[in-house]
Structure 1
């Protein structure tokens, strides 16, 4: 019998579950996120991926590097900070017979800029993570075991002086500073990745290396490859360094810059060193040592084939010199005096400090080697700057590639096949007042026989002031040709001097340039 209609109406309806909404699609990664992921832990290394990463970083607003460094570390003196050493048994690649090993550097003292350290092992990127257990602390209170801090750089070691001993050959730490040495040397002069707006009214900008990708070398390798990301308000850059230590430590450098703004004052292949005093500049010096300097001159081999030597000076006011050129063949800051008795310093050993010669690779176009001499009263401050400044600004949004070879050396592999300057000395002239007496020594093997130098004469010119008592003579037993002269600057506070040895109007030596200031 059919159910009553009322009963049918009273029966509850079956519950109906609404369908679940479809999950929202995950947002696609931004170009910067994708580029970052491609150069991070676990990914295969690729030069193109690194370039793409730097390009995307340059498109984003600059983010200054920040790290929460304990106050106890930032207040360490330099001597205390140097007690924090990477443990020898933790050294990367130690005992693997790879020709190189790495120590990672902890934060402390002024070294607080965080950097990401990544190694490349079997073609795969591996992040290196901070652990307090990696370090010995000496007398410094050790960090808590769970301290989560950044690294601030690294040191590369190789068997530089003896096959059985690993020596530090290169180090990166602080902004874009790095240094290297050749066999038998001690550290001195430093290089930078880039200089921006040096001595400009808006103030200098200091780019920093933010991340490194260091390729683990093969067995018995003599070559270490380092990739680095540089970043600042105005520019991002991707660098590749190929290091080959030895009697001359060579570092091939490839740079690709991505400016965020038009870059008008750019310093490529920049070098920085200390010059306190030397025989050409001992005004108000009361020191038992004969000289104090990392380097004593700037050498240039310009695009026209002229060799130039410019001795250094510790001036009373900032001095800027520009040497205009096109496609320079080389330039560098050199330590030409290698005699211990020239310095007489058993601790600093200035005579063992490296010279650095920059060999441009490819067409660098028009520009100038720029030299800055900054007044200092101590040997801790690096007051000499030298770099290549392109004539044309580097345009915003463009990609600008440069390459050069750095020679950390005793003397450059390229040198003039001509008499060259080995000493510049100045002192008060007999007449007194502002008059100065100069002696400039050129050396060459041929000077042992003065008959071979027949007809050689000094050609000395000056921009201001008055020159007198010019005298050139051979010193065969010392293989020297010495030029003496006196300068009366008269009313000038700056005098440019130029000296070259000539025969029949043709240059027979490198060119000596000098700027006199009070």
Structure 2
């Protein structure tokens, strides 16, 4: 994790650090472990008053600066399961800097649970750090390694660090956007509540296993939850997630399968950005397949004012923040390599009922901030004294896992046409566009409270796809909702492009 990634993480973790402290887990130090163990712990914890997270640290660790914390490294030779020739290993993060909350870790093997104890000798420390007793401090988080890029090296697959945040990568990728266990009151004027993972149980994998199982206990002032993650790394890294939520109070603004990302600027939004790079973002759009099977593509913005977009739905089929642009020349950043950042797609398992996919776009003047958030919000509040179960699959990888042949919007470019008009240029790609008669294809564009003119659709010989362009009047200087689709003989042959233009 480089300096920019750590600063971005700290921007959200520091907000969680001001929450009340979570007490120690009720799990016994050693004992049996079954499929319902963490659910029972969560149910019991929800019946008790909330206790703040344990932030107590020795004086030498309380005020670490960035460089001091970066100098604390886990020794790879001490990794969990390293000496057992197993297909997965686990390494741990030290507490300190922005990561003061204690996280308890346990290993599960053959139905027995044993605590993973902090040992000072498992870490190397830089110069200038003070001394402290070698007592069980717990951990800040952990990461899973596996030889999924090449057979002779255990690369990072995923990391759980800070509040309820976690990240993962697929083969050949670098870390980008984050997922969360649960979001509460995101965007509300009273402020957001940040639930925290307070304990994890890591199941010991069997030889030649292709997956590893992690259980987690989440706690916050408003809700408790248990999670079971089955993690399968590969060309697409997949998390099967089983979540059981136990609210302490009515949670009217809960976010399920939440994710956060960064969009600084791109070809659709370059105003006020004097930068040598053509684009800077971890994700470039929100993709949705709604309950009716309609596929939507919403390019992201870095707006001047907070923007909230709500896509009401019934039993969604999937949604996610995607990084579609995979060409180095689109970014030209040798350090960040945005073209290698993963997309994250949420696939609900079963019916989720009525609700909405909510997108937050937050203004930012620096790329170190995660300014994009998306999640599913149920219409009905999550009520206390009830168990709310949700199962879903997280796909981390280069693209949305889908089998249809609809053309997709690969690029959104926007430029001025005088003071009162904007030119939109949309690039489409896909097998559906190959060999079609240009005379049978047209673009359908609509806008709320604005005039659309000069709609042009044509093959693009440079990309092998098609280009759709149009002009939109912006005289009113108010946000404009736009919608576009490519049709052949009145039948859609592309996903639906939806966009909110803001002055």
Give the alignment's TM-score, normalised by structure 1: 0.90
| TM-fit CA distance, 1:491 | 1.5
Quick check: 148-157 or 385-394, which moved more? 148-157
Residue of structure 2 equivalent to 1:219: 207
Question: Structure 2 CA distance, aligned partners of 1:507 and 1:241?
Answer: 38
SS in 2 for 1:219: coil
Matched, 1:233 2:218: no
Quick check: 324-333 or 478-487, which moved more? 478-487
Q: Is the 8 A contact 2:321 2:374 kept in 1?
A: yes
The Cα offsets for residues 63-121 of structure 1, whole Å up to 9 and x where unpaired, read as: 01123224543433334322211112211110312211111111111011111111112
Q: Which structure is larger by alpha-carbon Rg, 1 or 2?
A: 1
Identify which of 93, 118, 133 aligns with 2:106: 118
Matched, 1:385 2:373: yes
Question: Structure 1 CA distance, aligned partners of 2:47 and 2:241?
Answer: 24
Quick check: 200-209 or 358-367, which moved more? 200-209
Matched, 1:290 2:273: no
The Cα offsets for residues 325-365 of structure 1, whole Å up to 9 and x where unpaired, read as: 11111111110000011100111010000101100001101
When residues 78 and 222 of structure 1 are mapped into structure 2, their CA distance, relative to the original with a 3 A threshold, is farther
Question: Structure 2 CA distance, aligned partners of 1:339 and 1:170?
Answer: 24
SS in 1 for 2:83: coil
The Cα offsets for residues 470-494 of structure 1, whole Å up to 9 and x where unpaired, read as: 2111124522211111111222410
Count, aligned residues: 480
Identify which of 484, 489, 493 aligns with 2:474: 489
Matched, 1:357 2:357: no
Identify which of 159, 180, 191 aligns with 1:203: 191
When residues 481 and 75 of structure 1 are mapped into structure 2, their CA distance, relative to the original with a 3 A threshold, is same
Question: Structure 1 CA distance, aligned partners of 2:76 and 2:254?
Answer: 40
Matches within 5 A, 1:71-110: 71-110=59-98
Residue of structure 2 equivalent to 1:473: 458
Residue of structure 1 equivalent to 2:427: 441
When residues 415 and 274 of structure 1 are mapped into structure 2, their CA distance, relative to the original with a 3 A threshold, is farther
When residues 267 and 36 of structure 1 are mapped into structure 2, their CA distance, relative to the original with a 3 A threshold, is closer
Residue of structure 2 equivalent to 1:332: 320
Matches within 5 A, 1:370-449: 370-414=358-402, 416-429=404-417, 432-449=418-435
Q: Is the 8 A contact 2:142 2:160 kept in 1?
A: yes
SS in 2 for 1:47: coil
Residue of structure 2 equivalent to 1:366: 354
Matches within 5 A, 1:120-159: 120-141=108-129, 143-159=131-147
| TM-fit CA distance, 1:290 | 1.0
Q: Is the 8 A contact 1:448 1:478 kept in 2?
A: no
Q: Is the 8 A contact 1:111 1:174 kept in 2?
A: yes
Q: Is the 8 A contact 1:299 1:331 kept in 2?
A: yes
Identify which of 307, 312, 321 aligns with 1:319: 307
Identify which of 167, 172, 182 aligns with 1:184: 172
Matched, 1:505 2:465: no
| TM-fit CA distance, 1:369 | 0.6
Question: Structure 2 CA distance, aligned partners of 1:406 and 1:142?
Answer: 41
Question: Structure 2 CA distance, aligned partners of 1:463 and 1:416?
Answer: 30
When residues 138 and 445 of structure 1 are mapped into structure 2, their CA distance, relative to the original with a 3 A threshold, is same
| TM-fit CA distance, 1:414 | 1.5
Residue of structure 2 equivalent to 1:243: 231
SS in 2 for 1:55: helix
More contact order relative to length (CA 8 Å, sep ≥ 6):
2
Matched, 1:463 2:445: no
SS in 2 for 1:154: strand
